[in-house]
Amino acid sequence: MVHPKSLDPYESPRSFYGSELRRLREEWGLFQERLGELVFCSGTYISQIEKAARRPQEDLSERFDSVLETGGHLARLYPLVTRTRPAAYSVVAADPRAVSQPVARMRFAEYFTTAAELQAVARTISSFSPTLVPGLLQTPEYARAVFRAAQPLRSAADIEDRVGLRMGRARIFDHPTGPLFWAVLDESVIRRPVGGAAVMAEQLFHLVELARENRIIVQVLPFSAGAHALMEGELCLLTFADAPPAAYVEGPHAGQLIDDSSTVAECVLSYDFTRAAAMAPEASLELIESAAEQYAQGQG
Q: Delimit the domains of the chain by residue range.
A: 4-81, 107-296
User: According to the model, what pLDDT value does residue 200 have?
Assistant: 97
Candidate ranges 90-104, 164-178, 277-291; pick with highest mean pLDDT: 277-291
Distance CA 158, CA 147 (A): 10
Q: Number of C-alpha atoms within 13 angstroms, CB side, residue 147?
A: 23
Residue 5 has pLDDT above 60, yes or no: no
Same fold: 4-81 with 107-296 = no
Which option is the CATH number for 107-296: 2.60.40, 1.10.3470, 3.30.70, 3.30.870?
Answer: 3.30.870
Amino acid at 202: E
Q: How far apart, in Å, are the Cα atoms of 268 and each of 79, 125, 247, 272?
A: 24, 12, 8, 6
For the segment 215-272, what is each residue's pLDDT rounded down to a tens digit? Answer: 899 999 999 999 999 998 899 999 998 788 999 998 888 888 898 889 999 999 999 9
Q: Is the pLDDT of residue 93 over 90?
A: no
CA dihedral 143, 146, 151, 157 (to 10 degrees): 30
- Give this prediction's pTM: 0.74
pLDDT at 108: 65
CA distances from 272 to 11, 226, 265, 276, 278 (A): 36, 16, 11, 6, 10
Q: Is 298 helix (H, G, I), strand (E, B) or coil?
A: coil
Cα separation, 32 vs 35, whole angstroms:
5
**Superfamily assignment of 4-81 in CATH?**
lambda repressor-like DNA-binding domains (1.10.260.40)
Closest CA to 204 of 213, 193, 167: 193
Give every strand in the sheet of 180-186, ordered side by side. Answer: 216-221, 180-186, 124-129, 234-239, 246-251, 254-258
Percentage of the chain exceeding pLDDT 70 = 87
Q: Under a CB-based contact definition with an 8 Å cutoff, are residues 15 and 48 in contact? A: no
User: Over 70: is that where the pLDDT of 102 sits?
Assistant: no
Say what the pLDDT of residue 136 is.
Answer: 95
> What's the CA gap between 51 and 17, in Å, rounded?
10
Question: If you average pLDDT over residues 192-206, what whole number do you get?
Answer: 97
pLDDT at 28 over 70: yes
